[in-house]
Amino acid sequence: DTGVSQDPRHKITKRGQNVTFRCDPISEHNRLYWYRQTLGQGPEFLTYFQNEAQLEKSRLLSDRFSAERPKGSFSTLEIQRTEQGDSAMYLCASSPSSTYEQYFGPGTRLTVT
Amino acid sequence: GENVEQHPSTLSVQEGDSAVIKCTYSDSASNYFPWYKQELGKRPQLIIDIRSNVGEKKDQRIAVTLNKTAKHFSLHITETQPEDSAVYFCAAKRDDKIIFGKGTRLHILP
């Protein structure tokens, strides 16, 4: 499968715990995006990388959220001290810099109990 | 920042009829407008897109129109089929950030 992959697909955690998600983009894509999607809403932009550089972060991204892409390939999104409001689908997308299209991964569904 | 409004939120059409979904955007600097289809429990999939230097684009039963002056764009699906049932999202892109509408749930009635 040469598409965007995400791991895990589902995560249930207790409030206050830390969680980390991984995204593997399409191999030749140097741009990587993180979105959050709640029920009945469109994806909301969180942050994006060009290679290993994090170029923009949304105001939605509180200090409890951090993302990395250390080698310009896969990326991780960590949420510290999770809250019930963090429950959502976290989507990753990638794009080659030469085009505009973004291709989404299957998402990680987070449930905070 | 950019704001994308999408209407209607729900749309039911008879199989074989046409469906139209409309979106408006606020930032005149947005230059790329993709449409995504999302089936229940699945990832959003790009179905068609249009750039700001083009007024219309068609791909088989799907077409998108863009009116830059009015800052609105529309998705047209003709000869609808049961497999067209899904949530459709419009979006607008400026620089490297894509802003999505809230989605339209399309039901194709038998």
Q: Give the mean pLDDT of A78-84.
A: 97
Q: Which residues, numbered 14 to 53 in chain B, qualify as contacts with chain A under a Cβ-Cβ cut-off of 8 Å?
A: 32, 34, 36, 42-46, 49, 51
- Calculate how close chain A gets to B92, using CA atoms only, in Å: 11
pLDDT at residue A4 is higher than 90:
yes
The rounded Cα B53 to chain-centroid distance in angstroms is 17
pLDDT, tens digit, 9 for 90 and up, residues A11-25:
999 999 999 999 999
Best of B96, B99, B100 to substitute, by most chain A Cβ atoms within 10 angstroms, is B96
Measured CA to CA, the distance from residue A37 to residue B75 in angstroms comes to 22
- Quickly list DSSP for A68-106: E-TTSS-EEEEESS--GGG-EEEEEEEE-TTS---EE--
Q: Which residue has the higher pLDDT, A2 or B2?
A: B2
Q: Does B62 touch chain A (CB under 8 A)?
A: no
Give yes or no for a contact between B96 and A47, defined as CB atoms under 8 angstroms apart. Answer: no
pLDDT, tens digit, 9 for 90 and up, residues A26-42:
998 999 999 999 988 99
- Quickly list DSSP for B47-101: EEEEETT-SEEEETTEEEEEETTTTEEEEEE-S--GGG-EEEEEEEEETTEEEE-
